[in-house]
């Protein structure tokens, strides 16, 4: 039988973000946290709650959010993955360098016997993606924010170039003081506007990536 359209819409929407994750996610989270890190998403094929525990004594080298692992150090790290109704799994995650993003296939084996709660969660997950509307709104907001930022860049570049020309003319007494300060104020305003748009774009992207999980 055909699977619900909502299931395909979710898969398609998340596929569109894979490239964004590779380019932006690790660097944005590093910028927010103030530490260089890498990000790894685990695909466990489990629709219930998943617990991920790292090596003893290495709590400062990582943190976990859902099925996403953030690593602050390079090298090999072994994690233990547990979930109700599934066999515990040990997984080695190798972080080659800061700002790395990776998706790791780590399917868990279900224990023998029926697990009604897991079956119910799995079927309900396929039938409905509750955050689809929120995802669409976040995607629209990110597109608009990115568009404003890209439009503001040439305006800022032109205003800075104009200010440099006016400054040179002002120093040769070829331009009045009002033109000098006016062009400087406009250049400063356009740069501040671009910075504001860049921050808005980053916030919108973080929200979009959060809803994609």
Q: Where are the domains of the chain?
A: 5-129, 135-212
What pLDDT score does 16 carry?
53
Strands 101-105 and 38-43: parallel
Q: What is the mean pLDDT of each run of 10 residues along the chain (213 residues)?
A: 46 54 74 85 85 84 88 92 90 90 89 59 52 76 84 86 85 80 87 87 80 63
* Residue with token string 């859902």: 66
Structure tokens of 32?
A: 């927010």
Axis crossing angle, helix 5-20 with helix 116-127, rounded to the nearest 10: 80
What pLDDT score does 78 carry?
92
**pTM of the predicted model, to two decimals?**
0.49
What pLDDT score does 72 carry?
92
What pLDDT score does 201 carry?
85
What pLDDT score does 94 carry?
92
- 45 close to 107: Cβ distance less than 8 angstroms: yes
Q: Is the dihedral of CA 71, 72, 74, 77 positive or negative?
A: negative
Dist CA 114 CA 119 (whole Å): 8
What pLDDT score does 71 carry?
92
What pLDDT score does 115 carry?
54
Closest Cα to residue 129, out of 3, 6, 11, 2?
A: 6
């Amino acid at each position: 039988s055909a699977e619900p359209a909502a299931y395909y819409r979710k898969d398609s929407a998340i596929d569109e973000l894979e490239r964004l994750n590779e380019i932006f996610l690790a660097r944005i989270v590093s910028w927010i946290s103030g530490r260089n890190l890498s990000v790894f998403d685990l695909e466990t094929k489990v629709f219930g709650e998943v617990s991920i525990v790292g090596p003893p004594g290495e709590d400062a080298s990582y943190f976990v959010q859902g099925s996403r692992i953030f690593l602050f150090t390079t090298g090999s790290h072994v994690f233990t993955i547990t979930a109700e109704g599934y066999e515990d799994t040990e997984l080695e995650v190798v972080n080659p360098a800061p700002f790395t993003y990776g998706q790791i296939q780590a399917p868990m084996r279900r224990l023998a016997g029926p697990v009604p709660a897991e079956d119910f969660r799995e079927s309900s997950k396929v039938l409905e993606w509750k955050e689809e509307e929120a995802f669409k709104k976040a995607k629209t907001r990110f597109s608009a924010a990115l568009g404003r930022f890209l439009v503001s860049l040439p305006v800022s570049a032109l205003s800075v170039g104009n200010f440099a020309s006016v400054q040179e003319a002002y120093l040769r007494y070829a331009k009045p003081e009002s033109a000098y300060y006016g062009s400087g104020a406009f250049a400063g305003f356009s740069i501040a506007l671009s910075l504001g748009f860049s921050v808005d774009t980053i916030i919108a992207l973080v929200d979009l990536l959060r809803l994609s999980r």
